[in-house]
Amino acid sequence: RIERDGPIGYVVLDNPARRNAISAGMWRAFPLLLAELGKDASVRCIVLRGEGEVAFAAGADISEFESNRASDDGVRSYEAATAAAHHALESTLKPVIAEIRGFCIGGGLAVALSCDLRYCAHDSQFAIPAARLGLGYGIHGHRRLVATVGHARAREIMFSARRYDAADALALGLVNRVLPAAELDGYVRTMARDLAANAPLTQAASKAAINAAIAEQGDYEQCEALIKRCMNSADYREGRSAFMEKRKPKFEGR
């Protein structure tokens, strides 16, 4: 579901009975919700979180696999839905923060890796247990993992299927910062508001350029177009004026 708090749009994984395991319907909802927030000019930053305090997401909902992945057509349909969800998170031009409490496992960690920034509570736990399930983890997920932690650490995470605590996750580079659980929500809200105050066209250009840099075939034409848009924008003129006048800029995304 979507929640709004001023310039912050929240996407909430709401399946607490199953530790926010991501169902097929939830995978299919990602592109719709991200598109809705992407079109909302009042939303300048997106936060992805799980309902409750037990889990961000305990993975894909494996209980559905017998029905959703029992045939070749079912596998293709399911994988298309998950790919579209990750693409929606990565391609929205607004910054996306993952606010992580509790379990962040398997598909849940893959979703977090598709976000731009990750902040977690001190009692969070992380793992990709594919090697304990006999599951072939996708190439795109591997690429995001390697881009985030490097190939040596990615090999340990994937081969061992071990569970890591928050301190380990920070050391590995899986998260940007670890907070006491009571402080996480306030920290993320402050960070999101700080991002919302910065130039959205610049953030969009930087996000596209970083994604292109870690992609197998980056869309550099889009990057150049977004960079050029910054240089010709009213926001760039506002930023220069604010700097010279020693005041805070007010960016409008145009």
With 70 as the cut, is the pLDDT of residue 253 above it? yes
Quick one: which of 62, 127, 92, 46 has its CA closest to 204?
92
Please provide the average confidence, as pLDDT, over all residues in the chain: 92
pLDDT for the residue 74:
64
User: For residue range 25-73, what is the model confidence (pLDDT) as tens digits?
Assistant: 999 999 999 999 999 999 999 999 999 999 999 988 776 666 665 566 7
Quick one: which of 91, 103, 111 has its CA closest to 11?
111
Beta bridge partners of 119: 99, 177
By the 8 A CB rule, do 97 and 191 touch?
A: yes
pLDDT for the residue 46:
98
| φ/ψ of residue 73, rounded to 5 | -65, -40
User: For residue range 74-122, what is the model confidence (pLDDT) as tens digits?
Assistant: 678 888 999 999 999 999 999 999 999 999 999 999 999 999 999 999 9
User: For residue range 190-202, what is the model confidence (pLDDT) as tens digits?
Assistant: 999 999 999 999 9
With 90 as the cut, is the pLDDT of residue 123 above it? yes
Beta 8-13 vs 55-57: how paired, if at all?
unpaired
3 state SS of 91:
helix
Residue type, 213: A
List % helix, strand, coil for the chain (3-state, nearest 5): 55, 15, 30
Beta bridge partners of 47: 10, 97
Residue type, 230: C
3 state SS of 246:
coil
Q: Which H, E and C letters describe 14-37, residue by residue?
A: CCHHHCCCECHHHHHHHHHHHHHH
